[in-house]
Amino acid sequence: MSTTASLSPFRCQRCFLPPLALEPRSWIRSFHPSMASLLSATRSQPLCFLGCQGDGLFPSSFRFGFDRRFGNGKKTRHVGSPPPSVASPTMCGQKRDHLSDPNLKILRLAREKFTQEISFRSEDKDLSLAKALLLVAAEDEAFLSFNRDMDACSLLSERKGATGQFKALSEVTDVEDISLAGKTISGWLKELDVIAAEVKAELISREIGCHLLEVLEAVNVVLFDSRGFRRFPVLVDSKFSYLHTVLSYGCGSAIMFSIIYIEVCRRLGVTVVGSRVGEDFLIWPQSGNLVELFRSASGHSLFATINGRCVKDPRSKASELDSGSLLRLDIATNRDIIGIALANLIRLHWKRASKANHGLMLTSPLRPVHPGKDKANMGETSLPLLRPQELRLAIMASERLLILQPDNWTLRRDHGLLLYYSRRYVEAVQELSICMAFAPEEEAEILEPFVEKLHLLRLLSSWECLDQADSVPVS
């Protein structure tokens, strides 16, 4: 039996439950010498670790051990595996009655196509930033649409004798069937073609050649003057971090404008590159003569026009750049740029999810755990109240980011903590345990007591589910 398939992060195709946490690093090492292949395992037919008959790698009574450090020879502590009721359902398994819902098909299809688009088998230069981010938007829109339909269905069921009809969605069989704000993904890609055509028309109307700086000035005229695009200095609404929304409304986050600028210039035969500088992402044309970008005309340099206010903000590192320092920056790959956009989504959705808990950080639960006091209060509900929809969107963005960077232990730690806040303890233990195999020793020592706490929370959750089941009267 293939252990790679068994370690897939997706769900059992029979019981729709997530895989059981595979916490011991010594177990991972013995079964999988290559950790990179472990983390990049994305088979379409995962096996269930929860004892689903015929599909399980282990029987439900199998007991896993937790090794403090990698191969240190210390005695392991064993925690019995929980019953399937512990697993928190996600979109792939909320209710079997809704598995044929077109929105759920869009969810699965968009994720599959996104994974294919950013696959490491393809060259980075061939990766389409616009298409990848439109697939991200399609998945999130399908999730929101599914939730709206569920809410409407619940309202109708609460009203006695009420009848209503939902707009039937067409069958989704291909990525081209996915609609975003009235357009297909190809339709939004053509919108970028239209902008590029407008830039060409602007160049023709001026009767000028195709000098690099003249092309960039024409792009600026079309985007900022003709179409009125503008950046939000502080982004509050996460919807303006989706490419189709920015193209529709002409306003949004700085990273989205950078991506639009790169895609339009690519259609004009101009290569635009970028790099993260402090908290900002800056772009500029790939050229041997960058001095002209910093020459001031009408009080603004071309570099400042392209990248916005951050270039003139003395608090920003971008204000310290010149033509020489640009050459020393590390150029971001297309996958890096998509990762920056996804990281922004995680931050925005987390901020909205934790709005009622000002200052709450993802890593707040990693404070020192005091065994006596903490275990005494283990049964109390100490998790803050978060907005579940925004939290789920943050988790979805984190899942995509891990597809891009599977060996980044910091991202995996943050993903595990998002699952913890969502009370999906089984999956949280799995992600944080794998994280410990990659993290530096001092970080692993911080995570270890928290993972042990999650083991107890997992068992408590299973007991609570069993108590509730026993208390239901049988008629």
- What is the CATH classification number for the domain harbouring 433? 1.25.40
Residue 129 pLDDT: 95
Residue 466 pLDDT: 59
Sorting pLDDT into bands at 50, 70 and 90, what band is 182? confident
Separation between Cα atoms, residue 231 and residue 254, nearest integer Å? 6
pLDDT by residue (tens digit) across 91-105?
A: 443 443 454 577 888
Pair 411, 400: CB distance under 8 Å: no
Residue 391 pLDDT: 95
Separation between Cα atoms, residue 113 and residue 104, nearest integer Å? 14
Highest mean pLDDT among 43-57, 164-178, 292-306: 292-306
What's the whole-number average pLDDT of the chain?
76
Pair 41, 5: CB distance under 8 Å: yes
The lowest-confidence range among 72-81, 133-142, 289-298 is 72-81
Do 191 and 325 lie in a common domain? yes
The lowest-confidence range among 60-74, 144-158, 254-268 is 60-74
Sorting pLDDT into bands at 50, 70 and 90, what band is 462? confident
Does residue 282 sit within a domain?
yes
Does residue 393 sit within a domain?
yes
Do 370 and 296 lie in a common domain? no
Mean pLDDT, range 61-69, rounded to an integer: 36
Question: CB neighbours (10 Å) of residue 464?
Answer: 13
Pair 395, 422: CB distance under 8 Å: yes
The lowest-confidence range among 31-45, 114-128, 136-150, 193-207 is 31-45
Domain stops at, among 76, 92, 117? 76
Residue 255 pLDDT: 92
Do 276 and 405 lie in a common domain? no
Does residue 37 sit within a domain?
yes
pTM equals 0.74
Separation between Cα atoms, residue 331 and residue 326, nearest integer Å? 9
pLDDT by residue (tens digit) across 359-412?
A: 889 898 887 645 444 444 444 446 788 999 999 999 999 999 999 999 999 999
More confident residue, 70 or 240: 240
Residue 216 pLDDT: 92
Lookup: tokens for 436: 């410990």
Number of residues that make up the chain: 475
Domain stops at, among 76, 101, 123? 76
Of the chain, the percentage scoring pLDDT greater than 70 comes to 69
462: helix, strand or coil: helix
Does residue 423 sit within a domain?
yes
Pair 72, 441: CB distance under 8 Å: no
Does residue 54 sit within a domain?
yes
Residue 209 pLDDT: 65
pLDDT by residue (tens digit) across 283-321?
A: 999 987 888 888 877 667 889 889 988 888 888 888 888
Is residue 81 scored above 60 in pLDDT? no
Lookup: tokens for 438: 């990659």
Selection from 415, 417, 407 nearest residue 439 by Cα: 407
Separation between Cα atoms, residue 419 and residue 308, nearest integer Å? 36
Pair 353, 395: CB distance under 8 Å: no
Do 285 and 364 lie in a common domain? no
Selection from 136, 122, 126, 120 nearest residue 37 by Cα: 120
Sorting pLDDT into bands at 50, 70 and 90, what band is 45? very low
Lookup: tokens for 18: 């997530």
Does residue 87 sit within a domain?
no
Separation between Cα atoms, residue 108 and residue 117, nearest integer Å? 14
Domain stops at, among 34, 55, 76? 76
Do 301 and 366 lie in a common domain? no
Sorting pLDDT into bands at 50, 70 and 90, what band is 157? confident
269: helix, strand or coil: coil
Within its chain, how far is the Cα of 113 from the centroid? 15
Separation between Cα atoms, residue 88 and residue 334, nearest integer Å? 34
Question: CB neighbours (10 Å) of residue 379?
Answer: 12
Within its chain, how far is the Cα of 130 from the centroid? 16
5: helix, strand or coil: helix
Cα dihedral 219→222→227→232 (10° resolution): 30
Q: What angle do CA 142, 144, 150 make, to 5 degrees?
A: 100
Q: How many domains does the structure of the chain reveal?
A: 3
Separation between Cα atoms, residue 386 and residue 5, nearest integer Å? 34
Do 318 and 267 lie in a common domain? yes
Is residue 254 scored above 70 in pLDDT? yes
Do 217 and 331 lie in a common domain? yes
Do 311 and 196 lie in a common domain? yes
Do 301 and 438 lie in a common domain? no
Mean pLDDT, range 67-95, rounded to an integer: 37
Pair 7, 22: CB distance under 8 Å: yes
Lookup: tokens for 335: 């996958």
Alpha helices in 49-161 (DSSP H): 102-117, 129-158
Does residue 439 sit within a domain?
yes
Give strand ranges (E) for 186-287. Answer: 230-231, 251-252, 272-277, 280-285
Separation between Cα atoms, residue 399 and residue 112, nearest integer Å? 12
Lookup: tokens for 418: 């998002």
Pair 145, 105: CB distance under 8 Å: no
Longest dimension (CA), the chain: 85
Separation between Cα atoms, residue 16 and residue 14, nearest integer Å? 6
Lookup: tokens for 447: 């995570």
Identify any residues that bridge with 231 across adjacent strands, giving them in sequence order.
252
More confident residue, 35 or 463: 463
Is residue 461 scored above 70 in pLDDT? yes
Do 318 and 200 lie in a common domain? yes
Does residue 137 sit within a domain?
no
Do 313 and 416 lie in a common domain? no
Do 299 and 324 lie in a common domain? yes
Is residue 280 scored above 80 in pLDDT? yes
Residue 269 pLDDT: 92
Separation between Cα atoms, residue 366 and residue 13, nearest integer Å? 34
Selection from 307, 277, 305, 344 nearest residue 133 by Cα: 344
Domain that holds residue 303: 184-335
181: helix, strand or coil: coil
Residue 440 pLDDT: 94
